[in-house]
Structure 1
Amino acid sequence: MGEYVHYYLMGFNTLGFVLMYIDKQKAIRNKWRVKENTLIFIALIGGSLGLYLGMKLFKHKTRHAKFKLGIPIIIFFQLLLIYLY
């Protein structure tokens, strides 16, 4: 993969991880939340590993089927695309 692809993936995975942390902190304080669709979108465009790590580390969104099953499925297909690329 090209150098720019690595930067792209690092950026979106970092963003996904940080958004999961922010959403967890806001949930604890009953404040505004990051929309689930935003988190899924970040996963789809390359931030799935960061989101998954954030889910596990912060114990956040781990009961929601959309995240519990959806994020690993997205990761699988992204890894498959990388392998085939």
Structure 2
Amino acid sequence: MPQNYFIMYLILINAAAFITYGIDKKRARKQQWRIPEKTLLLLALVGGSIGAYAGMQTFRHKTKKPLFQAGVPLILLIQGVLAVRFLILH
């Protein structure tokens, strides 16, 4: 049962990250108030790295910023390694 909650959390946080990157890109085009970069990176860090990376690629958002070019893929890699390790050990 706890695994189901964790999987649901991952689905929701990745969906939230993807949508948030899309919203921020739309706001950038309209020169409106933006979502802070800390928030975008935090969404990736707390488990939404797949959604954040997909949002970057889909919306072509933050792809030229070095912090995002390196940071989001690095977070994704670390989370992937941790997931594989967790699955193998349990």
Shorter-chain TM band: over 0.9
Match of 2:71 in 1: 70
* TM-score, scaled relative to structure 2: 0.91
CA RMSD of aligned residues (A): 1.0
* TM-score, scaled relative to structure 1: 0.96
Match of 2:50 in 1: 49
Query: Where does the alignment leave 5 or more consecutive residues of structure 1 unmatched?
Result: none
CA deviation profile, 1:13-52 (whole Å, cap 9, x unmatched)? 0000000000000000000001000011110000111011
- 1:5 deviates by 1.1
Structural mapping, 1:29-40, within 5 Å: 29-40=30-41
- 1:3 deviates by 1.0
Please give the alpha-carbon distance, in whole angstroms, between the structure 2 residues aligned to 1:59 and 1:74: 18
Aligned residues: 85
Match of 1:14 in 2: 15
Identity of counterpart residues, as a percentage?
A: 39
Match of 1:27 in 2: 28
- 1:83 deviates by 1.1
Runs of 4+ in structure 1 deviating by more than 6 angstroms, as ranges, are none
